Structure 1
Amino acid sequence: MVRAGMKNMFLITGAVMGAGYASGREIWQFFGAGSGLAILLFTGFFILCTITILNISYKLQSTNYVPVLHQLTGKKLAVVYDYLIFIYLFCVTVVMIAGSGATFESFGIPFWWGTVFIFAGLMIIFSKGIGELLNINQLLMPLLIIALFVILLVFIKGEEISFQSNWDSQDNWTAAFPFTALNILPLIAVLGAIGNRIKSKGEIYIASISSGLILGFITFIYNTSLTELAKQVELPAIPLYLIINNYGQVVIVVMMLMLWLAIYTTAAATLLGMITRVNKKYGFSLLKMATIMLVIMLPFSLISFTQLVAFIYPLYGILNLYILVKLLLYPIGKNNR
């Protein structure tokens, strides 16, 4: 039970910690100074929503996100959110491909090499099946989590940054709602695809609580670091690069590798959500459908990574507020009885 719960925890964190999150761009887009309460609320909301999604998936033994949507919104509104989720997953995967190109560019390597590299990596993982995706997340996500923890805490200690900046004022507490709403959408898609793999309620609580606490703490210390940096310079497209820039070439290479792994795991998770949805109708192999999807996406990845994050993430953060409310109220609603 514990092992299965941890596997799902890494799948959850892998779905959230993509190019926007791990680079710091997504966190800065929503938070900033005085966001301590907002981040605390996000942590609580995220845990509750994840528990609800997994409970529904487990109850329905789902293999894609459509039954979960039906349970949450009813069949009529589920049709609307079905399209919204699919478009969102498409856009996020495009953002990940663009993020891979941007990461390669930061080392002076052509953008297109980054897109080819992630394309090949996704082809490999989808040739192995869903089980291999879970195994890859279990291997890669601990590395990313530990690396982010260490570099952010070292930066905060080295710069003698106070956490007080997060608590000076709480005018930004409402950011918790769109930020949570944004991050639960891929979870519905990804966790809806593994309902038939969940064996017990214990797995659900282990995965939900541990992933929520990890993401909440990383968000808090990341936001603290970015708030301090923003007082000194304008933050670049990848704020993480500014944090690691003074720690030597080895640290830079390691952290940019970790960033790419975050991009890779999120692209794999969002692509899985799309494929399991489409395959309900067409029944293609995972590899064939992944190839078709990625070929369609490649031209869109040429749009600026920063522009994609700045436009798509806030927009969907607002559009998904209804789903967030439904998830938070679901445990006490009539649908759960």
Structure 2
Amino acid sequence: MIVDGLKWMFLIIGTTIGAGYASGQEIWQFFGYESGLAIVIFTFLFVSSCHVVLTISYRHQTDDYAEVLQELMGPRLSKGYDLIIVFYLFTTTGVMIAGGGAALEYFQIPFNAGILFMCGLLLITAIKGIQGLTSINGILIPILIVSLAVVLLTFYMANVEEGYSIWTTQQRNWPSAFTFTSLNVLPLIAVLSAVGKKIKHQGEIWVASIGSGLVLGSVSFLYNESLLAAAEDIMLYEIPLFALLETYPSYTTAFMAILLWSAVFTTAASGLFGLTSRLQSAFSLPAWALAIFLLCMMLPMTQFGFSSLIGVLYPIYGILNLYLLIIILIHPFYFKKV
């Protein structure tokens, strides 16, 4: 039970920690100053959301998100949000691919070459399906989390001023917890709804939900505090993480660039998996054919640049998904009465 729960936990984290999160762009866009309380609230919201979605998926033994969405929102609204999820997954997977190209530029690999390399690996993963996706996450995510936590903690300890308090009296940015959580709700529904038939025990859901929430909440808090310490330098970098690595040896930066690319890849793979699993129920095509078509359609949008896509798309999606987040949070109370 615990082992399987950890497998789903790594899938959740791998879906959430992508180009925006691992690079620091998401953290900086939504949090920043006076955000300690916001991150605590986000942790509770995230745990609750994961538990609700996994529970519905397990109860209905689903293999795509259509049935989960219908229980949450009813037949009419679910059709509208179905289109939003497809568009969201499409655009954010394009963001991940752009982030992968940006990360490989550190190694003097041309942006477009990095994008094509990533698309090739994504196609291979799409062919292998959920088993390939969970296997990759089970290997890469623990390495990424530990390495990122060590770098952030080391940077924070070296740059924090004596007497500095991580919790200020003013916590006026707490509403950002809701938009940040809602931003991550759609990919969670798309991916977690596809594993309902694979879950064997209710305990797996608790392990996955609580574990992923605590890990993401802790890393988010540490990441935000580290970015605040380097706030003056962040604007000079496409990827804020590299501002924190400025004083580190080159091999450390290279290692983190590889891990950043890995995070981008796992989220892109999750997004592509969510799209193909949903579209397979509408079109009688194999996963590899759908994956090729989708990747070709995504290539043009990668030319807008990573940080530009993050800055424009993510806040919009965060606001649009607030309604869906509210529905998920009240669902356990409403469902018991029905």
> TM-score surpassing 0.5?
yes
Contact 1:23 1:239 in 2 (8 A): yes
Amino acid at match of 2:93: T
Note if 1:290 corresponds to 2:291. yes
Deviations 1:126-164 (A, max 9, x none): 222221111111111101111111100011111135772
Q: Secondary structure at the match of 1:164?
A: coil
Contact 2:156 2:229 in 1 (8 A): no
Contact 2:32 2:224 in 1 (8 A): yes
Deviations 1:233-272 (A, max 9, x none): 6352200011112111110111000000000000000111
Instruction: Name structure 2 gaps, 5 residues minimum.
Output: none
Aligned sequence identity (%): 45
* Pairwise CA distance, 1:107: 3.1
2:140, 2:335 → 1: CA distance? 40
2:169, 2:229 → 1: CA distance? 13
The aligned residue for residue 327 of structure 2 is 326
Contact 1:163 1:224 in 2 (8 A): no
Contact 1:71 1:335 in 2 (8 A): no
The aligned residue for residue 41 of structure 1 is 41
Amino acid at match of 1:212: G
1:232, 1:18 → 2: CA distance? 22
The aligned residue for residue 76 of structure 1 is 76
The aligned residue for residue 266 of structure 1 is 267
1:38, 1:261 → 2: CA distance? 27
Contact 2:29 2:311 in 1 (8 A): yes
Deviations 1:32-83 (A, max 9, x none): 0110000000000000010000000001111101111101110100011001
The aligned residue for residue 140 of structure 2 is 140
Residue pairs, 1:75-94, within 5 angstroms: 75-94=75-94
2:306, 2:73 → 1: CA distance? 32
Instruction: Name structure 1 gaps, 5 residues minimum.
Output: none
Q: Secondary structure at the match of 1:282?
A: coil
Contact 1:166 1:224 in 2 (8 A): no
Amino acid at match of 2:196: G
Contact 1:33 1:166 in 2 (8 A): no
Residue pairs, 1:80-229, within 5 angstroms: 80-160=80-160, 164-229=165-230
| Alignment: residue pair count | 337
* Range with bigger deviation, 165-174 or 190-199: 165-174
Q: Secondary structure at the match of 2:175?
A: helix
Contact 1:229 1:235 in 2 (8 A): no
Note if 1:305 corresponds to 2:335. no
Amino acid at match of 1:133: L
2:305, 2:265 → 1: CA distance? 18
Amino acid at match of 1:141: I
Sort the Cα spacing of 1:29 and 1:325 in 2 relative to 1 into closer, same or farther, 3 A: same
Deviations 1:161-199 (A, max 9, x none): 577244341010100010000011100000011111111
2:153, 2:42 → 1: CA distance? 21
* Pairwise CA distance, 1:284: 1.9
* Range with bigger deviation, 151-160 or 50-59: 151-160
The aligned residue for residue 50 of structure 1 is 50
2:325, 2:160 → 1: CA distance? 37
Contact 1:180 1:317 in 2 (8 A): yes
1:276, 1:7 → 2: CA distance? 19
Deviations 1:204-230 (A, max 9, x none): 000000000000000000000111111
* Pairwise CA distance, 1:311: 0.9
1:30, 1:179 → 2: CA distance? 6
Sort the Cα spacing of 1:166 and 1:271 in 2 relative to 1 into closer, same or farther, 3 A: farther
* Range with bigger deviation, 134-143 or 162-171: 162-171
1:183, 1:11 → 2: CA distance? 13
1:303, 1:336 → 2: CA distance? 48
Amino acid at match of 2:157: K
2:324, 2:164 → 1: CA distance? 32
Sort the Cα spacing of 1:163 and 1:213 in 2 relative to 1 into closer, same or farther, 3 A: farther
Amino acid at match of 2:92: V
* Pairwise CA distance, 1:336: 6.8
1:53, 1:279 → 2: CA distance? 21
2:74, 2:24 → 1: CA distance? 36
Amino acid at match of 2:27: I
1:113, 1:194 → 2: CA distance? 33
The aligned residue for residue 11 of structure 1 is 11
Sort the Cα spacing of 1:233 and 1:194 in 2 relative to 1 into closer, same or farther, 3 A: closer
Amino acid at match of 2:247: N
Amino acid at match of 1:29: Q
* Pairwise CA distance, 1:123: 1.6
